[in-house]
């Protein structure tokens, strides 16, 4: 390769204007991603707007942003989380842990009888998001708690 050509290319690659523009795009993308709902099909958070529709880059699903809140509500109604006694739990409830629960990365367990306030229900195996004193943010299984 011609040495003088190499010298010419370097200033172009490190052009500060390009860097500023790139940073701006990343910043704007973060802003947009924070406001758009996740893909209803694959739950991707990289949703972007394409005209009047929202688009998912991961599964290619396109949907109308106006209809999305309705779909989300239906999903939420489908989420039923019951405690160890069969009581239906809801967001904001206080629960009590019914058995000692070992926690990865901690020497100690969450002790039976620990009160956990302001739970948030989620899908999945560990279906309660919460904060436990001395442990921080945790995901618990509803079968190991009872409604306070
Ligand atoms: Zn998707």
Interval 104-119: pLDDT, tens: 888 999 999 999 999 9
Q: What is the per-residue pLDDT for 142?
A: 96
Q: Which CATH number fits domain 3-76: 2.20.25.10, 2.60.40.420, 3.90.550.10, 2.40.50.140?
A: 2.20.25.10
Q: What is the mean pLDDT of the chain?
A: 80
The Å distance, Cα 4 to ligand 1 centre, comes to: 47
**DSSP E strand boundaries for the chain:** 48-50, 53-55, 62-64, 81-82, 88-89, 95-97, 101-102, 109-110, 115-116, 120-121, 128-132, 136-140, 145-147
The Å distance, Cα 57 to ligand 1 centre, comes to: 7
| 37: Cα separation from own chain's centroid | 11
Q: Do the beta carbons of residue 91 and residue 120 sit within 8 Å?
A: yes
- Whether 80-147 and 3-76 are alike in CATH topology: the answer is no
Q: Do the beta carbons of residue 114 and residue 106 sit within 8 Å?
A: no
Q: Do the beta carbons of residue 110 and residue 139 sit within 8 Å?
A: no
Break the chain into its structural domains and give their ranges: 3-76, 80-147
Q: pLDDT tens digits for the chain (148 residues)?
A: 444 455 555 555 556 665 556 666 655 555 554 568 888 899 898 888 888 888 999 999 998 876 545 544 445 567 889 999 999 999 999 999 999 999 888 899 999 999 999 999 998 889 999 999 999 999 999 999 999 9
Sign of the CA dihedral running 67, 68, 74, 77: negative
Query: Is residue 17 exposed (0-12), middle (13-18) or buried (19+ Cβ within 10 Å)?
Result: exposed
Query: Is residue 26 exposed (0-12), middle (13-18) or buried (19+ Cβ within 10 Å)?
Result: exposed
CATH superfamily for domain 80-147 = SH3 Domains (2.30.30.40)
Q: What is the per-residue pLDDT for 8?
A: 53
The Å distance, Cα 44 to ligand 1 centre, comes to: 5
């Amino acid at each position: 390769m011609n040495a003088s050509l190499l010298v010419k290319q370097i200033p172009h690659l490190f052009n500060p204007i390009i860097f500023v523009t790139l940073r701006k795009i990343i910043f704007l993308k973060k802003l947009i991603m924070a406001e758009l709902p996740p893909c209803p099909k694959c739950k991707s958070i990289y949703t972007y707007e394409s005209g009047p529709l929202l688009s998912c880059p991961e599964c290619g699903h396109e949907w109308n942003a106006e209809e999305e809140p309705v779909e989300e509500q239906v999903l939420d109604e489908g989420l039923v989380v019951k405690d160890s006694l069969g009581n239906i739990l809801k967001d904001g409830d206080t629960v009590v842990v019914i058995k000692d629960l070992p926690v990865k990365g901690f020497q100690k367990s969450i002790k039976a009888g620990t009160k956990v306030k302001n739970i948030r229900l989620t899908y999945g195996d560990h279906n309660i998001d919460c904060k436990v004193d001395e442990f921080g943010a945790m995901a618990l299984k509803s079968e190991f708690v009872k409604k306070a």
